[in-house]
Amino acid sequence: MKKLRFSLAAKEKYEELTGAQRTYIDQGLEHLKQDDLTGAEYLVNEELGMEIKFALEGQTVTVLKIGTVAEFNRDQYPEAQQRMLDWNN
């Protein structure tokens, strides 16, 4: 079984979660500890719109970020996000 480590941002986000989001993340973390996820970078729950971004380092899984799909998309496309903010103001 692999060991889990959390980045500071992921730990803070994990502590904020409640209800169904917390349940999904807990299940995802168990999945990360037990399964071979070579080549994977994230787990996604489409229904809840939640993602867990992680990195594998031998027998250690580092959880880099926990968030919603919208948060991840916003991080990937900063110019588009800025245009949307400009249009709405």
**Is residue 7 scored above 90 in pLDDT?**
yes
CATH code, domain with 71: 3.30.2310.20
Prediction pTM value: 0.71
Q: 41 lies in which domain range?
A: 3-87
**Is residue 79 scored above 80 in pLDDT?**
no
Are 66 and 25 in contact, with CB atoms under 8 Å apart?
Answer: yes
Beta bridge partners, 44, equal 51
Average pLDDT over residues 32-58: 83
Separation of alpha carbons 89 and 84, rounded Å: 9
Q: How many domains does the chain have?
A: 1
